[in-house]
Amino acid sequence: MNGIKGYLLIILSLLPHICLAQASNKLMLYRKDFKNISGNNTVSVTSYEKDGNHVVYAGGAGNIDVYSLNKNGKLNPISSHELYKNKGPARGMVADNINGTDFLFVANKFGNVIEVFTILDNGSLERAYMIEDTDEMHLGVAITLQVVHMKQSSYLFVGGLEETPGLSCFKIHNDGKLTHVQSVKDNDKIHTDGIIGMFTHKINGKTFLYTGGFQDNGISSFRVYENGKFKNINNISDNTTDRYLTGAYPVTGVKLGGNYYVIVGHRHHKYYTRSGFIKRPDFVYHGDGVSVFKVNNKGALAPHSILLDDESTKLSGQTRIEIVHVKNNEAVLAVGTRDDTSIQLCRLDENGILTPINYLETGFPIYYGLRSHKIAGEDFLIAGSNSFDLKKLVTYKISPKINRNGKVLRHIVNLKYKADATEQQINVAIKAFENLKNEIPEIAKMEWGLNDSEEGHSNGFTHGFTLTFSDEHAREVYLFHKAHLDLVSKVGPIIEDVFVMDYWTDN
């Protein structure tokens, strides 16, 4: 009897973990909103909560767009702010509170400056300070920023991609001013040539910073001291056996139970075709994967596990990894990809093993613009694209996967043309719409017709188009496909109104 009781106690103790694992394995992304941006592209995205209000910052070429974000994932434009010399893009962005004042720190990639903005009550920005590059500070082509809070002061670490790369630290003052503390020039030992990802762990009262080297294909760990000074601890380079670091790109981390992990993605150099961009062209392509490293008490990294890319995952060209949430000693991660044009959800367990959950084909490449944000206990992702022909900011909610087995999606578009639209213009528009089937193979079926209702409830809508998609991925690819965007731009001037409905039905 005691044996049975003990067995039941074990089962009950494991039940929350079993249920959570089952729940996380059924998560999926569902698009909630998208808005136009004012710039040519969205290179980076960050978010912030100020006094209960949720704000999103989209960094593009030459400016930063500001949006509010509500509990349903809806975006509302607030303001737009020009970057120094109208350069940019705002590649690295991080918002934080420094002794009672909210700031947005921005790495102006081609302006070769770090810009500091005060975050106003409505989330809008006001320039507070700016520091330009020098030969000693490695701010040229700045890409990544990391705020590190110590007991007495806060510091901003800066990494970038330039001819003379390195890692720099600045003390952040209460007014947003930055003063230089230390810079380390890249060398053959450390991996700071093209720092595109950084992350900080605090272990037993000590602070450690981790950097990825895009050009030198590895990661490095540094100890950060109370005065902002830092020193190298250990370095791990790419190989062809137990890690994937050629083109090391996103770097993040998490604590699960008593274990500290650093998770590193990469956009392999094979994906770059621009002549002369890759400094070491003698690389070996050995596949794609997300690498997990375990951290010891001294802050050093050791290879731990790998999630390999295969036909069931979307991990080619990883450019951003976000921690969605941590519950009961497991983490859910979102991996944004530029080459697979997708967001892959993964689960990291307490033992440091990554497993894939689900993915959504976004229909656009993600460069550095992916951000996880929580509102009222709900998980959202905000994504942007580096595509100059997209100019959108998109939100997704992460929810339990809906069973669509045997279902197809009908996408119904009803159009009302302007009174002065000519018959020729309308015919051209119809032919352009019909041609989408040839341009976008994800459209399984298309049909259209003229309104024939005499009930008096058509409200002036005359043309109806019905598109059929086999799954969520196909709809996303269609929505953000260049051919569709070109059609919207071309036909828009003669459209008075549009009414869209989607529904799932049996095939």
- Report pLDDT digits (tens) over 368-411: 899 999 999 999 999 998 777 788 999 999 999 999 999 999 99
Give one DSSP letter per residue of 255-319, joined into a string.
Answer: EETTEEEEEEEE--GGG--STT-SS---------EEEEEEE-TTS-EEEEEEEE--TT---TTEE
Final residue before a domain boundary, out of 363, 385, 400 = 400
Q: What is the pLDDT of residue 62?
A: 87
Kindly indicate the confidence band of residue 23, based on its pLDDT and cuts at 50, 70 and 90.
low
In this structure, is residue 363 part of a structural domain?
yes
- Contact present, 155 and 227 (Cβ < 8 Å): no
Q: How far apart are CA 240 and CA 244, in angstroms?
A: 7
Structural domain includes residue 274:
yes
Instruction: Indicate whether 283 belongs to any domain.
Output: yes
The pLDDT score that the predictor gives to residue 265 is 98
- Same domain (yes/no): 80, 58: yes
- Residue with the larger pLDDT of the pair 471 and 5: 471
Residue 364 carries which DSSP code? S
For 222-250, what is the mean pLDDT?
Answer: 97
Q: Which two tokens stand for residue 144?
A: 């990544």
Query: Hey, what are 494's tokens?
Result: 């003669």
Tell me if residue 117 falls in helix, strand or coil. strand
Q: Residue 221 above 80 pLDDT? A: yes
CATH number at residue 454: 3.30.70.100
CB neighbours of 281 closer than 8 A, spacing ≥ 6? 269
Determine the Cα–Cα distance for residues 495 and 402; give it in Å rounded to an integer. Answer: 34
Looking at the fold, whether 411 and 395 belong to one and the same domain comes out as: no
62 CB-near residues (< 8 Å, 6+ apart): 39, 40, 82, 83, 86, 87, 88, 89
What pLDDT score does 17 carry? 45
Query: Which residues on neighbouring strands pair with residue 323, listed in sequence order?
Result: 333
Nearest C-alpha neighbor of 91 from the set 35, 166, 145: 145
The span from the CA of 435 to the CA of 449, in Å, is 15
Q: What is residue 220's predicted lDDT score, i.e. its pLDDT?
A: 98
Q: Name the amino acid, one letter, at 100.
A: G
* 354 backbone φψ class: left, alpha, beta (φ>0; ψ -120 to 50): beta
Is the pLDDT at 6 greater than 80, yes or no?
no
Identify any residues that bridge with 320 across adjacent strands, giving them in sequence order. 336
**Shared-domain flag, residues 357 and 467:** no
CB 70 within 8 A of CB 55: no
pLDDT tens, position by position, 173-204: 999 999 999 999 999 999 999 999 999 999 99
How far is CA 203 from each of CA 254, 260, 266, 300, 355, rounded to the nearest angstrom? 12, 8, 26, 11, 26
What rounded mean pLDDT belongs to the chain?
A: 92
Lowest mean pLDDT segment, chosen from 10-19, 125-134, 360-369, 382-391: 10-19
Q: Is residue 4 part of a domain?
A: no
Residue 115 lies in a domain: yes
Residue 108 has pLDDT above 80, yes or no: yes
Average pLDDT over residues 120-127: 97
Of the candidates 220, 228, 224, the one whose C-alpha atom is nearest the C-alpha of residue 180 is 228
Q: Which domain holds residue 435?
A: 407-506
Cβ atoms of residues 118 and 126 within 8 Å: yes
Assigned domain for 6 exists: no
Cα-atom radius of gyration of the chain, to the nearest Å?
Answer: 25
Q: How many Å apart are CA 271 and CA 368, to the nearest integer?
A: 16
Q: Note whether 45 and 101 are same-domain residues.
A: yes
Q: Which phi and psi (to 5°) does residue 477 adopt?
A: -60, -45
Distance CA 415, CA 345 (A): 36
Domain count, the chain: 2
Q: Is residue 11 part of a domain?
A: no
Does the model's pTM come out above 0.85?
A: yes
Q: For residue 346, give the CATH number of its domain.
A: 2.130.10.10
Question: Where residue 160 falls among pLDDT bands split at 50, 70, 90?
Answer: confident
Question: Same structural domain for residues 237 and 382?
Answer: yes
Percentage of the residues of the chain whose pLDDT score is greater than 90: 83
Alpha helices by DSSP H, listed for 61-134, are: none
Give the closest residue to 236 by CA, choosing from 300, 323, 317. 300
Q: Where are the alpha helices (DSSP H) in 395-471?
A: 423-439
**Paired tokens of 256:** 């699960």
Is residue 438 very low, low, confident or very high in pLDDT (cuts 50, 70, 90)? very high
How high is the pLDDT of residue 24?
65
CA gap 402, 259 in Å, rounded: 33
Cβ partners under 8 Å of residue 294, min gap 6: 259, 260, 261, 301, 302, 304, 352
What mean pLDDT is predicted for residues 316-334? 97
Q: So what's the pLDDT on residue 363?
A: 92
**In terms of domains, do 214 and 245 share one?**
yes
Residue type (1 letter), 338:
R
Identify the residue with better confidence: 502 or 163. 502
Residue 249, pLDDT > 90, answer yes
Q: pLDDT (tens digit, 9 = 90+) per residue, 286-319?
A: 999 999 999 999 999 999 999 999 999 999 999 9
345 part of a folded domain:
yes
Distance, CA of 228 to CA of 225 (rounded, Å) = 5
Q: Following DSSP, what letter does each residue of 365-412 receive, concatenated?
A: --SB-EEEEEETTEEEEEEE---TTT-EEEEEEEEEPP--TTEEEEEE
- 423-439 vs 482-491: helix axis angle to the nearest 10? 170
* Statement: residue 13 has pLDDT above 70: no
Q: Is residue 360 located within the same domain as residue 454?
A: no
CA atoms within 13 A on the CB side of 443: 22
Instruction: Quote the tokens at residue 75.
Output: 């975006």
Q: Domain end: 367, 400, 433, which one?
A: 400
Q: Mean pLDDT across the stretch 318-340? A: 97
| Alpha carbons 194 and 165: distance in angstroms, whole number | 7
426 lies in the same domain as 369: no
Q: How confident is the model at residue 8 (pLDDT cuts 50, 70, 90)?
A: very low
Contact present, 119 and 102 (Cβ < 8 Å):
yes
| Residues 282 and 216 sit within 8 Å (Cβ to Cβ) | no
- Give the residue, 202 or 273, on which the prediction is more confident: 202
Residues comprising the chain, all counted:
507
